[in-house]
Amino acid sequence: MSDFKVGDAVYGILPTGWFAEYAIASAGDLARKPFNLDFVQAAALPLGALTAWQALFDLAKLSDGQRLLITNSSGGVGSLAVQLAKTIGAHVTAMGSAPNEAYIRGLGADEFIDYRQQRFEDVAHDMDAVFDTVGGETFDRAFLTLKRAAFCHCGGSQKKSKALWSRFSTRIRQRQSSICRVGYVGSDGSTPLGGVRRSDPASSKRLAFDVYRRSSTISLH
């Protein structure tokens, strides 16, 4: 964007130096601050929202009508993932605890699963994608909800990703009818495992502008 003027309230994400009191940024890395967020809220938005954006759209290629399971939908990243997925018409099944059900449904979730009362893999079926930010046993069980040629994403560090990749390979051998691809987004935005699609470097700009256009509907926990 080139129509910024002095005094405009903007937000964005920088590769380095963003904890400074003053920082220089390219205009293309910024967008106008959503009118319904203050500066503190806006500063908290890009990293969590970009994590969700990269997983859902750059990696999983989520599209209108597809079925998505989010394992931690009341957290900072999961709550944004619910909203972003709904903007493109996906059907969202969201996991959480009972006290957060009203909040999660208010974000737009189509279905809610109380993970304390039932095993989510007994309820969720035929998912096109799973966005898992919990990991561990939840990651393993998430494969049981996927349909053929589906996509499972689990965020985490490179060290954790390699360990999960080993479990993923075992899971695929056990369930040969499922053909899944796994993507990991590290804290630096990278996907460290060989052969996995890398996130689009332009996604942060698309995210900023998309959130700005939809600023009347974005909610922060």
The backbone region for 136, taken as left when phi is positive above 0, alpha when psi lies in -120 to 50, beta otherwise, is: left
Give me 114's structure tokens: 């109380």
The SS3 assignment for 86 reads helix
What integer pLDDT is reported at residue 191 of this predicted model? 38
The SS3 assignment for 187 reads coil
Residues whose CB is less than 8 angstroms from the CB of residue 54 and which lie 6 or more positions away in sequence, other chains included: 185, 189, 199, 200, 203
Q: Which amino acid is at 13?
A: I
> Are 180 and 165 in contact, with CB atoms under 8 Å apart?
no
What integer pLDDT is reported at residue 140 of this predicted model? 80
User: Residue-wise over 81-96: b if at least 16 C-beta within 10 A, else e?
Assistant: bbbbbbeeebbbbbbb
Give me 128's structure tokens: 């096109």
* The model's pTM: 0.73
What integer pLDDT is reported at residue 46 of this predicted model? 86
Domains in the chain: ranges and CATH: 59-202 (3.40.50.720)
> Are 101 and 118 in contact, with CB atoms under 8 Å apart?
no
pLDDT per residue, tens digit, the chain (221 aa), is 468 888 999 988 887 777 888 888 888 888 888 888 899 888 888 888 888 998 898 888 899 999 999 999 999 899 999 999 999 999 999 999 999 999 999 999 999 999 999 999 999 999 988 898 888 888 888 888 888 656 666 655 444 445 555 555 555 444 433 334 444 443 344 433 333 334 454 555 555 555 555 544 556 55
What integer pLDDT is reported at residue 63 of this predicted model? 92
What integer pLDDT is reported at residue 177 of this predicted model? 32
End-to-end CA distance of the chain: 29
Residues whose CB is less than 8 angstroms from the CB of residue 100 and which lie 6 or more positions away in sequence, other chains included: 74
